[in-house]
Structure formats: structure tokens, C-alpha cells
Structure 1
């Protein structure tokens, strides 16, 4: 009995010792990385969405916590924390220095919260850090100079906080930085020289909306890797614009608005390629491209020598009076000459005006006779419309087969009921066109589109415009003809070519080249029996579209805006070369129909094979602008802008480029527990931008088809940066299409 009691007492003691020894082990089960993360949780004073509620000290592994990503590291007995992404949660509190003990941390993303206080220098003890996103918080204090001690730091975005003070000279130590974004802070002072030449790999620099002062650093021109927009706007920079900025790559767009810059804009290099918006709201700037002439400084009169002064003194006041009289006579002569030149100019203008008026009435009389012939042809006189086509032309020998050339049209021809060729090499007349075999390609708000095979076996595309109603007036026809002539003069290998047009009260036709291989939308979705587009083909298409748009913006007679660019308007030939269609079409629709409904519905209805145009007319109704279109720029969708501009075309191109890179539509569904259907619509632009902010692997964003072309990784990344620059929410921050085209041409070279 005694022995049994002793055994029971011994077992009890052993059990108690086991409990006592294992209790601290249970407390110490959480890894050191987990303890550092709990320090951040403790520093958060308000977590309205309970986003950190799953961070529990009872877990032995923080890798399953929301927002935490881990990786196995050689030499470590447990997975290490490599990423923290707790963004947009409205967290209040501060950033604790304990996060610096995460030696394998690569990405820290805390943007979109309400964190305050300074950025601790100890945070940069995390020596593996390469991406730090702290924008859209309330952080204060100076710029963290210790950030430049991190050897692999590539992305640093501290924008839209309350950082203050000057940029430290230690910034030159950030040699690996690729993106430095400090916009929307309270940074001030003169930027020290010698910083920028050390940042050989810097691709993006944004110092806008701060209080920097003094001159713009000339050594910014040594940033050879810079792309997109160099944004120095909304500061207090003063003095002249350094001519060294002209040494920046041609792909760079400058934004120097809202500063105190003065003097003439240097017309060298990249500076000569900038538009006027780059220099606005600098009252002291002058010269091209601003419409502010630089004042010519008066050349000082040579000083009178001592001998001359003596002679004047000896001659008394008479000599001085003679000189003054001579000066007045010279000024009087100059004034008289100016008046004479002005009178001559006025007489010349009056004479030219008289000639123009006479020519106008002469042409109008001929047009009336032409219209009579057109009306007779409707009553059953075949062939009379051909003679009408010659009426008012410079000579009957210029018309061929019932056509007037575009030159003839400009000389006064062009009556109703005629077919007008925009290309002298186009030999098909209306009767042959009507007799030929035709196939309907599509029908929508822009009219019916036919493929027409003419006598020699070649094919053209014919679009029947409008609703067939007559607008009843020759003046409307003249507008239509002028618009079509302007469109016909636009020639580029990547733009669909207008060959001819036909106008009659009940029929309006546009004849263009037929592009045989469908459109980009169908090619991206994949067609049966055909492989998906390779990266080299997609890059070729992107380059071609960019060149075509750049030509449309800068080289066309009207400086056209497309207004409705999307994959269905990008046609492909047999070699997958792109041809942009549908520019200028809505303007024509507004001229061919008594109703604005055709123009209003045109952009929302796609035929799948476009022809010429979709630039919004100035008279387009807001109902058209408000139609949902994910390719349209946000300022157009929100009706902030009343009509598309060239920068809205740039946005549309960026969305198309992202679609080619990701293989995803511009609006896609993703799981969402907050909605009853379990899905939410996510915009492609925001999805890609978020992926780059969080430094997600490229494999998660790129089209899986492109992953087989391993050599193309750098090219794909470069194209992503081009697309992101194009889809900036600020239209002024988007590059011009000329810049975009040059940027794409530099890829893989």
C-alpha cells in the first residue's frame, strides 16, 4: 500500500513537471517572423475591417495569416516571411521598427491606410527589401535616407503622405532604384546636384505636388533609362529650363506645369518634341510650343565718345536739335511705311475675297444644273449620273467611268447622285459595283457592311451609311464631301484606305479596301484551327497600331481623333499586319441622317469588321458619351470631357495593349464573397496596376500562351510599362502616341 502511494506521488510530480516545462514551449511556438508581425498588429490602434483579426499568437506559423506570403529559405528550419500586403484597410497606427527584423522580406505593401508618424530607419534593416509601397497614408517626418542602404531596393512609392524637409544627398546611394514616386508630400528645398547620374536604372520619377524650389537640376538629363513621364509639376522651381533635359530619351514626356520657370524653352532634343501642356502655368516661359513670343531685347545705342561729347558742347543745342529732328523724321518715315503696307494688305485681301465670291457663285450655278441632271436620271434616264459626275469639273477628260478624282472635287465638282473616286487607281464604277456579288459582313448602328467581289476577282468593303433618309439640302452634302475628302487624304500602311464614296438622297456608300483576316478581337479569342497569337506577332500588331494612331494624330490633314479604338476596329491582313478602321465615321453619320440616333448608337454596336471611322462629332449627344465602353478613357465615360481627344485615344490603346499582354477582357469577373453572386467586375487596368504595386509574379498576369517564349520576358515587362503609362487616370500624364510608338519600337532592339 505504501509502495503504491509512492508510485502515485511520483507520477503526479512527473505530470506537473511536464506541464510546467511544456507551457513556455507552447508560448514560444510562434516563429520570430510571427512575433515581428504581432508587433505590427500591436502598433495598429484601429482596424475597422478586422483585417488583422486572423493574426493569432496561438498559431505556430504566420504563413497562413491574411496578407502574408512565405517562402522556404535555404538554411532555415521554417518558412520565412517574404511579403506583407495589407493595403486599403483604413488601418490607424504607426509602422513599428520590429518589421526591420524580417530579414527575408521582399515586398511591403501598406498603401491606402491611415498610418501616421515617421518611417523608422530600422525598417530598412530588412536587407532583402526590393519593393516598398507606403503611399496614401499620413506618414510624416523627413525622407528616410536609410532606404538607400538597402542594396536591392527597386520600387519606392511614398506618394500622398505628409513627408517634409529636403531630399538628402544620401539619395544618390539608391543606385538600384527603378521607380521613385514622392508626389503629393510637403518636401521642400533645393534638390542637391550629383544625385541623378548615380541612378542609372531609374525608369520612373515623380516629384510633383511638393514645395521644391530653386533651379531644375541639369543632371536630370543624364537619366538614360527614364521612360513615361518625368513629372516635376506643381512645385516652386524657378529659373530657366536646362537644355540638358533635351538629352532625355525620346520616349519621355515632360510635365513642368505650375512652377515659376522663366525664359525661352530650349528647342533641342526631347524638349522640342513636347506639347504645350508640358509647360503651362509658368508665366515667365515663352517660345515654342507655347503661343507666347519671347520679347526681343532692344540693342543699346552706342555711347558717344568723349570727342563727340565735346563737339556737342561746342556746337551748343543746335546740333542736338538737328539730331532729334532727324530721329523724328526717321520715325515718321517708318510709320508711313507701316501704314502703306497695311493699306496694300487690305486691298490684297479684298481682291482675293472678291475672286473667291465670284468663283463660289459660278460653281453654285453649275451645281444647280448638275442637280437637275441628277433628278432626271431618277426618272429613268440611265447613264445621266455619269455626265453629272463631270459637271463642273476642270475637264471631261479627267473623269473615268463616271468618277471624278479628288482633285476634280476640290475644283468644284461633286453633285448629288454621283460616285467619287478618292484614288485614281480605283477603276470600278457604280454599275459594276451593284452588279457584283456581295456578302453581308455585319449590321449595326453604323450601317450594313458588305464584302463585294468585283469583275477582276478583287474584293472591296462597302458600307451603307445611315438609315436611307434624305437630309434634303446641298449644303449638307458639301460638308459630307469635305469630310470624306479629308479622310481620303489620310494614307498610312496601318490605316484602312478609303477608295471612293457615293452620295444620293436615299443612298450613301463608302468603299474601302477589304482586309481579309478578320479583326484583333477574334484573333485574341482564338479561332478554330488556328494557334493563338505569339508574342512576336502581338508586338508587331501593337507597333503597327501605335504607328497608325500616331500618324492619325500628328500627320493627317485634320489631326484626326479616332474616338472608338478597340480590338474589333483593328483589322488584320494575311500576315497579321494591323489596319485601323472606323475613324471619322460618326461625323459622317451625323451628316447623312436626320436623326442623331445612328451616331448615338454607332459606338455601342460593332459589326465585327469596321471600315472608316468613329471619331465623335462635336455635336454628339451626351447619351452617346455615357454609353458603357471599357476601352473609353475615364474622363469620357464620366462625361468630364465632352468629346474624345488624342489623349483618350492613348488610353484606349493602353487598354488594347493590356488585353494583348494578359489575354483577359477589359472587364472581367473575380471571386467576391461580398456579393450575392459571388463575383465582382474588375477593370483590367486596375487589376494590372494593383499587380505591379504588389510586385506579383509576372506569371500571374501575363497570357499563359506567352509563358512558353521565355526569351520575351523583358520585352513583355517593358510593354506592360508602356500600357500602364497610357492608362494613367490623368490625361495630361499620358504620353503622346508618337512617344508610345517610339517606346514600342525600342523594345527588342
Structure 2
């Protein structure tokens, strides 16, 4: 991950020492720049604000989390620098920006049809499932929101911004006097008790699902999206809130209703009543039509000098959810059926 010195020098020169004209975004604690390297590869440069009290802590946290793990649905950290220009993190550039940009931005570059929204939702769920279930110690993101879901040229999902992430030992929660996150996405139970678990991320993810379904912001002036959906659910009018871009492109509105129900499960008041991200990925994966993969081409023979090279392998239980034996197989159907049985209780119990 160490970026070569000459590459760093190139970046500073090409961005005129991080000139304002290369800025592509702002965060609560950072500014993001774009730079195209000599090899035509674009990179995103995240510069943390030096005056921000948690600057060094967030810098170290990002290095300790995303710098030490790898998954296709997480941003890839290419390098870092402690320089006169501040604490810099170098990431792969995401051509299609954030989910927030596509849903709520002033200049929407692309209309999101139903299949694409489902693909984005599943990708984000897979990334979170990896953090919660495959990392040791497990990682709680703590700031899951649409602006922290980035999309590459193929609209593949990449979770970003691990500055306030927390690592937890197995079977333990974390208690803190400082509640971290973004208004509209923060788990109310976490805010009330200060106890952080994976289910806090699940709640935030549920709000993102509601954004995808409605095209509305989590919080807009004094309007709260979750409260709106609960009120519509109580009057059996939740489908009135579906984004028109979904209605015009979805062939099965029953699938849309299931995702609404899943979102309401994720945002149940009691964390114990929420599904795990593993369960979420199974449900969403079952809604994506199966496609027959192309036949595999034989792998080319490597030169003898490379045959003993060890390539790191990262466990990903969620990459093959679209395969028929995982979606429809008998080993999955019983568990999925039990999870879907909860949907019948959502409308009557979600606000209890």
C-alpha cells in the first residue's frame, strides 16, 4: 500500500499542490480531490482538516481498518502521506460518485432503475456483511449513509469513510459517551444507551434502503424519512412513496414491497429484532434474477518464476449469492422463509 515517492510528487505537481479547482467533494472532516496519474489512472485524494479535533484519530482509524482489509465492496486504499499539506489518503477514484449524488444531487447524471438500485443495495449489504461477519476483530462502520456509498464505472458498490469505524471483539458491544454518526441515520437505541453493536449499522443501512425506494433524503428540513414511512405503513399507503423511476422500470412490484418490509425490519426499534447483514444479503440476493454465467476460460500458464508466488485470498461468503443453489437451494429456503415470516409482523409492531 505504500505509495512511491515519485508518485506522490507527481500528484502534488498535477494538482498544483491540491488546488481548489481539483476538488470533487467535501466531508465533515475532509476535502476530496481528483488527480489523473501519468498512466491515466485517476485517484481520489482525501485530505483531513488539520484543525479538526479528531483529525489524527480518524486518519489512524482509516489506516487500521480499510488499510488492512480488502473486499470488492469496500474502497481500496492505495497509499497515504503525512505531508506539509496535511494528512492525505489515496483511494481508487469512483467514476459515478456517491449514491447520494445520484439520488439527491442537483445534476443527476443517471436515472436509477429498479435493477440498478437492487444491485447497489446488495453490494452495500455485502460490504457490511464482510465487516460484521468475516473480519476479526469485527468492524462497525458507524456512519453508513448514501454519501458513503460510492459507485465505480460499472456501478459496483464501494463503502467508504472509515474514519469513525470501531473494531469490536467477538460477542461484545462498545459503550461510549460520544455518539458518532449522521443525523437521520443514527440508531435511536445506540443514541439512547451509547451501546454500539453491528445492529447499529443495520439500522443505518435500513434508512439507505428507504432512500433507494423513495428517492427522498433521510432528513429534509424538518421531515424525517423513517417517520414518514412508518406513518404511511400504519395507513397501508407505503407503496405511494415509491420513486416514480422504480414504478416505470420494475416488472415485479412485489419485490419492491419486500424491500420495504426488509427496510422496516432493519429499522426496528429493538436491535435484537433486526436482521443481521448476512440475512439481509440473502434476502436481497433472492430478489435478483439469476443469470447463467459465461463458460470459464482456461487460465494462462504462468512463467516458472511466477508459479510459486502467493496471491492473498480474502474470504467472501457473499460474492456468489446470485447462484441458483444458494438462492433457491433447500439449505437456504427454510431460513429465508423464517425471516420473511417476520414481514407480517412489521406493520403492527414496528412502532411499538
Q: TM-score, normalised by structure 2?
A: 0.69
For the pair shown, the structure with the greater C-alpha radius of gyration is 1
Residue matched to 2:150: 571
Residue matched to 1:268: none
| Alpha carbons of structure 1 residues 508 and 526: separation in structure 2 relative to 1, 3 Å | closer
Match of 1:631 among 158, 176, 185: 185
- Where in structure 2 are the equivalents of 1:103-502 lying within 5 Å? 420-421=2-3, 429-437=7-15, 439-467=22-50, 484-502=63-81
Residue matched to 1:339: none
Q: Distance in 1 between matches of 2:199 and 2:282?
A: 16
Residue matched to 1:347: none
Residue matched to 2:133: 554
Match of 1:525 among 104, 107, 110: 104
Residue matched to 2:331: none
Residue matched to 1:744: 284
How far residue 532 of structure 1 moved from its aligned partner, in angstroms, is 2.0
Look up the SS of the partner of 2:87 in the other structure.
strand
1:512 aligns with 2:91: yes
Residue matched to 1:645: 197
How far residue 502 of structure 1 moved from its aligned partner, in angstroms, is 1.6
| Alpha carbons of structure 1 residues 704 and 467: separation in structure 2 relative to 1, 3 Å | same
Task: Tell me if the contact between 2:66 and 2:75 (Cα under 8 Å) persists in the aligned partners.
Answer: no
| Alpha carbons of structure 1 residues 506 and 734: separation in structure 2 relative to 1, 3 Å | same
How far residue 491 of structure 1 moved from its aligned partner, in angstroms, is 1.1
1:683 aligns with 2:250: no
Q: Distance in 1 between matches of 2:59 and 2:211?
A: 35
How far residue 485 of structure 1 moved from its aligned partner, in angstroms, is 4.5
Task: Tell me if the contact between 1:628 and 1:637 (Cα under 8 Å) persists in the aligned partners.
Answer: no
Q: Distance in 1 between matches of 2:219 and 2:36?
A: 38
| Alpha carbons of structure 1 residues 631 and 659: separation in structure 2 relative to 1, 3 Å | same
Task: Tell me if the contact between 1:461 and 1:514 (Cα under 8 Å) persists in the aligned partners.
Answer: yes
How far residue 470 of structure 1 moved from its aligned partner, in angstroms, is 12
Q: Distance in 1 between matches of 2:238 and 2:31?
A: 45
Residue matched to 1:26: none
The alignment of Structure 1 onto Structure 2 pairs a total of residues equal to 276
Task: Tell me if the contact between 1:469 and 1:505 (Cα under 8 Å) persists in the aligned partners.
Answer: no
| Alpha carbons of structure 1 residues 502 and 728: separation in structure 2 relative to 1, 3 Å | same
For CA contacts below 8 A with separation 6 or more, give which structure has more relative contact order: 2
1:659 aligns with 2:199: no
Task: Tell me if the contact between 1:468 and 1:506 (Cα under 8 Å) persists in the aligned partners.
Answer: no
Q: Distance in 2 between matches of 1:696 and 1:619?
A: 38
Q: Distance in 2 between matches of 1:443 and 1:482?
A: 19
How far residue 650 of structure 1 moved from its aligned partner, in angstroms, is 0.4
| Alpha carbons of structure 1 residues 529 and 499: separation in structure 2 relative to 1, 3 Å | closer
Task: Tell me if the contact between 2:143 and 2:164 (Cα under 8 Å) persists in the aligned partners.
Answer: no
How far residue 527 of structure 1 moved from its aligned partner, in angstroms, is 5.8
| Alpha carbons of structure 1 residues 542 and 567: separation in structure 2 relative to 1, 3 Å | same
| Alpha carbons of structure 1 residues 538 and 628: separation in structure 2 relative to 1, 3 Å | closer
**1:313-372: CA deviations, max 9, x gaps?**
xxxxxxxxxxxxxxxxxxxxxxxxxxxxxxxxxxxxxxxxxxxxxxxxxxxxxxxxxxxx
Residue matched to 2:252: 712
**1:143-186: CA deviations, max 9, x gaps?**
xxxxxxxxxxxxxxxxxxxxxxxxxxxxxxxxxxxxxxxxxxxx
Q: Distance in 1 between matches of 2:261 and 2:226?
A: 12
Structure 1 unaligned spans of 5+: 1-404, 406-419, 589-617, 670-680
Structure 2 unaligned spans of 5+: 167-173, 290-352
How far residue 490 of structure 1 moved from its aligned partner, in angstroms, is 1.6
